[in-house]
Chain A
């Protein structure tokens, strides 16, 4: 069965610093991979997704993620953090033969210090 592990439940960075949120997946077949962002008391918004077209995926708000099959990883990065990036981030996996169901990691809360 597929699963997602996000390393670090809390990450704190200074404004302008590099953001790196880690995600590793477990899947027996090539997965689709996603990063979502959730602001307090709101639903989830898609940041980016990997669908096997390109290993480096660019998303909204300056975020990008790189799919590394050998490391079963899909880490999320942003070169320069902004105060507005403070939120909860979720990595998720989905398989084509499971109807689109998303399986989420436990989430990483990103704090941005001024």
Chain B
């Protein structure tokens, strides 16, 4: 069964350092989402792509976060510089299309700890 791949699974970094996460969606899935899940809370959308275009990045802290999906396949989320408050699980999800009728498939996540 096809799955969303994410790496690394765990990352520890010091504050003010740069960090990057990678996501490879299920093949053929045009829509890709990055969510952030702070411990004890539900996930919150950071950015949504349709193919290589950003559809929604209204909740992305653009002063330090960036996301790209250059060829409309895999995606990278970067934080520079990392802050203590960025410690969270970063989840990637993909779907065949936009809209709530399309099921989102989630990857295992990257757990970031900023020290």
Contacts and interface: CB of A to CB of B under 8 A. Distances in A.
B75 interface: no
Interface stretch (A14-22, A65-73, A102-110): A102-110
A44 B4 CA distance: 11
B14 interface: no
A100 B102 contact: yes
A103 B35 CA distance: 10
A46 B48 contact: no
Interface stretch (A54-62, A76-84, A88-96): A88-96
Interface residues of B, number: 31
Contact of A102 (B50, B101, B104, B109): B104
Contacts, number: 75
Contacts of B72: none
Contacts of A41: 9, 108-109, 111
B48 A99 contact: yes
B55 A92 contact: no
Interface of B: 4, 9, 31, 33, 35, 40-45, 48, 50, 55-56, 91, 93, 95, 97-104, 106-109, 111
Interface of A: 4, 9, 31-32, 36, 41-46, 49, 51, 90, 92, 94-96, 98-107
